[in-house]
Amino acid sequence: MLSQVDDPKVIVPHYKIVGKLWNVYFWMSDAEALYEELRGRGAIIDYELCDQPYGCREFGIQDLDGYDIAFGQDMDTPDDQSG
């Protein structure tokens, strides 16, 4: 969900308000492949690809404005969901 504010100064990355909170989280089928692609293109890695105790393989990056973007894959779901 996106919204527009009157004063851009009130827009800050979530982690500056609540620690370890992303601005956006994307679910995907192959977190490792995207991690390798983004790392190879010079993305700012916020936290490395890892397997979380809550069943997700995930990693995080920061955009050029300092916002945290995370990508996660449900480890109980097979990579190939086509069929």
Task: Give the domain ranges of the chain.
Answer: 23-74
Distance between CA atoms of residues 35 and 41, nearest Å: 10
Tokens at 83, concatenated: 């069929």
pLDDT of residue 75: 92
Measured distance CA(48)–CA(35) in Å, rounded:
8
CB-CB contact of 46 with 63 (8 Å): no
pLDDT of residue 8: 74
Q: What is the pLDDT of residue 33?
A: 97
Q: Which CATH number applies to 23-74? A: 3.30.720.110
- pLDDT per position in the chain (83 positions), as tens? 556 778 877 776 666 666 666 778 899 999 999 999 999 999 999 899 999 999 999 999 988 878 889 999 999 865 545 44
